[in-house]
Amino acid sequence: MLTVSELFIYPIKSLGGIAVPAATITDRGFEHDRRWMLVDAQNNFLTQREFAAMALLQVALTADGLHAHHKINGSAIDIDFTPQTNETATASIWDDLCEVQFVSAAADEWFSDMLSTKCRLVYMPDATRRNVEAPYAQHEEITSFSDGYPMLIIGQSSLDDLNRRLTEPLPINRFRPNIVFTGGNAFEEDRMKHFTINGIDFYGVKLCARCPIPTINQSNAEKSKEPLKTLATYRMKNNNVYFGQNLLHKGEGTLHIGDAITVHELND
């Protein structure tokens, strides 16, 4: 039996994620997931790939918005769900251009100070519709500021398999999944073409090719060669290392830790 064991949302792209007991599904993924993003002076998106120190910025949800704090120096800021400016712009994320709204001058100043680089915080308004890349979309699905898909799923067995090969086991936060499940074999998620949770349909459409972010320790922002070095020995194909499955979905509702996963169709 496959069972949801952990759920995560990442309100601000590439900052620390939040473990939640339940997550509401919206048209573009989990509610609040990657609806905010940091951009540079040219409105290009920022991630831990270039700024590993982003790992040190942790986000929490409050009744009115977000609470961000620095894991080491303790500095913090509260951010309202509703942006405090009417300033808009076109921001770039990979090959996509998205209409965004700037959040506040205070947020811009705080994040620029924390990262020692000029940056601004932007929000994705409901009117902005960022489509999933065409070759994998099924019904013109949309996503938020995620790298390309609304959700990512990883099996606990896959992480356990990897950790048995490593000198120092790693936590799941290195891989930034939205859904983690127990049960099944290692890399069971690779073959999950269609499954349901609480009556919501999910479709595994593309294995996740890993960038260098999993090599960044999310507690101290230090970089290493693992786990990509080890994963490359048995999870490499076409010069990419794969770990996790990108998902599309149909329907809205709420997922809970402990929910059963029913698989309807497997990939070959």
Shared-domain flag, residues 178 and 189: yes
* pLDDT confidence of residue 25: 97
Shared-domain flag, residues 199 and 253: yes
Shared-domain flag, residues 80 and 207: no
Shared-domain flag, residues 96 and 192: no
* pLDDT confidence of residue 135: 86
Helix (H, G, I), strand (E, B) or coil at 134: coil
* pLDDT confidence of residue 233: 98
CATH number at residue 159: 2.40.33
* pLDDT confidence of residue 134: 83
Last residue of a domain, one of 99, 131, 163: 131
> How many structural domains comprise the chain?
2
* pLDDT confidence of residue 219: 97
- Which residues of the chain fall below pLDDT 50? none
- Which alpha helices (H) appear in the chain, and where do they start and end? 105-115, 156-165, 228-231
Shared-domain flag, residues 84 and 138: no
DSSP assignment of 198-226 equals: TTEEEEEEEEEE--SGGGB-TTT--B-ST
pTM to 2 decimals?
0.97
* pLDDT confidence of residue 114: 98
The neighbouring-strand residues paired with 117 are none
Q: Is the peptide bond before 227 cis (omega within 30 degrees of 0)?
A: yes
* pLDDT confidence of residue 137: 87
Amino acid symbol at 121:
L
User: Whole-angstrom Cα distance, residue 146 to residue 165?
Assistant: 29
User: Whole-angstrom Cα distance, residue 158 to residue 98?
Assistant: 34
Contacts of residue 151, Cβ cutoff 8 Å, sequence gap at least 6: 29, 30, 178, 179, 202, 246, 247, 249
Q: Which domain holds residue 221?
A: 2-10+19-29+132-266
* pLDDT confidence of residue 181: 98
